[in-house]
Chains A and B, each alone.
Chain A
Amino acid sequence: MRIEYLGIEGINGPLIFIETPKEISYNEQVELILKSGEHRLGNVISVTEKITTIQVYEGTEGINIKDTKVILKGKPITLKLSEDMLGRIFDGTGKPIDDFGLLNSSIEREINGSPINPVSRTYPRNFIETGISSIDGLITLIRGQKLPIFSGSGINHNELTERIIRNASIKDSSKFAIVFGLMGAEFEVAQFFKKSFKESGVLSKVVMFQNLSNDPTIERILTPKVALTCAEYLAFDLGYQVLVVLSDMTSYAESLREISTLKGEIPSRKGYPGYLYSDFASIYERAGMIEGLEGSITELPILTMPNDDISHPIPDLTGYITEGQIVLGREMFQKGINPPINILDSLSRLMKDAITDEHNKISSQLFSSYSKVQDVRALAKVLGENDLSEIDKKYLVFGNEFENKFINQSKFERRTLEETLLLAKEILKVLPESELDRI
């Protein structure tokens, strides 16, 4: 179905308003044809009897009121899907932008997806070895999990992401794919990832959807949805183990806020729309595994915490949906510890059922002892180190060893889980046995 209309009532930022046509439906895909012949993609975000609001994903520059044609597609936005997407690069709306031309496929899916029926899911229990001690040992990543990285501006979360991808992928069979959704990323960031994928030889397994910082901000609203639609196809139709990296969710949420404000919606916390939680959920909850199907979707969303504030609505609401979080700390970063993971704030909710009893005990002991280190350090600041009790002094030694030898890990050092656990036991020996109440 194709219905064309000529003329627009008004334009405000990325939104255009038209007189409500008869057959328009909510969330319908719209194509705009400008006077110059250029095509733009949009969709219906609100309809009333008189006025229909359309958000235009590629920006409204150059759109004028008189000559712009509005074409109703009669269906929500869809994405063409094919196994050939692997190794290709698309823009934030799913259009190819590399040199290999259009995608040839008859399979098309709505990008909004449908919720997985909770009774159809299988509980994720397969551990993914990342080779990074702090993650494998303490915040174990599980296939089918959604585990975000909370970072701050200036902290090198991209390097950590790259390491996880590089290590997690190599170990696995050929049925491994990475879907990468970049939202508002710097050009350099996109290049960094492309380069490292090439170097580690995984480029042919990556599908990249990129919306760079100089691309229209509104396009970002589509990026995670197209990325996940592609991931669902690869995972649940073709049986791939898919790792979805979404960077940066903060840019995504900001675009959402922009639209919400322009629509004149009543703002909730910090100006973000009241439906931010449900909107995030519609993205994060697409991770998982389905009973009887081969594939899986593991999500690794990355977000920068504005002002390093973990209680900001974006990390806060994310943390309530995802199964844990990896928090990067500025203090660790400045101490030169790499990856600068703030262990005590981090958590993997799915690890307990996927790891051995011994592993469980060791990680529990490390968490508990390291949290004691923080108390001792605070005490040392007041009393001075010399006045600490013998045991407390040992805690200080333990804390330093733990940070420098266990968390800190050079970029190309890959530790197996066994090595990680051995190292942990070694470091715990610094403490007297009476302090080890978890092992």
Chain B
Amino acid sequence: MSVETQFPSDEPDIDPSMGEALQAHKNKVRLIHTAKIASVWIALVLILSIGLLQLRFDPGYVGEHYGFVMQGVLTTLGLSVASIAIATILALLGALGRLSHNSIAQGLAGFYVSLVRGTPLLIQIYIIYLGLPQIGTQLQSLGFAHLGKTLTLTAIQSGILALSLNYGAYMTEIFRAGIQSISHGQREAAISLGLTEWQTMRRVILPQAIRIIIPDIGNQFIAMQKDSALVSVMGVWEITYRANRFGRKDSKFMEMFILAAALYWILTIVSSWIEERLEKRLAHAYER
């Protein structure tokens, strides 16, 4: 009360109105900033388009035939979603193995990460698609008929397995870093309450680590959508395969590859957007 009387009497509401004006100004500045960024994007897309037309790029051809390549989007997405889900489980197991005090678990996880990160994804795909069945044939001749057949995965299954194994190894390190970033005090508090090591991991450490890890999983998912193009070598009709093989028909490679590139780009833009929202929601969790 005593503070208010210090203001001149003809401007009693100076505070609220000024607050609104400041807010409005701030919003306006932000809007202009966003508009400027958008216009830079539009300008760049225009320059790119003009450049493409100089390459004797035929937009009409894309207009007529985009549907065929688009049919591959679902395949690409399905492959990536299934693979990132399995990769996440593998990465969790891998990270727990690497952080474990058990020498066998540590050895297994370390070997897995080293082997998979040290070899090209394409070669892993070949080995899983063509190599595993040969092991299966050997097993079959040894009398394990069912096991032998099981090792002959379809192209899609092989692709999912290869992508999962590969990303699982990279994500193992992400998970490990995430788990290690949780302060030691959390573990101490949990075990002094009587929780076992496993309960501590499951109830206290992982739920916190996941929040740190999720943005990285999102990035891996984006990368995976593009790496999934490699499964085209097994004849899976995803985006790249369709673009490549269709482009040969009328020697319109450039058109089809640019269409494929655009589709991947759109997929990653949508994924990043979802990932950003998820990240924001996570950042505001636990703030009741």
Instruction: Tell me whether A and B are bound partners.
Output: no
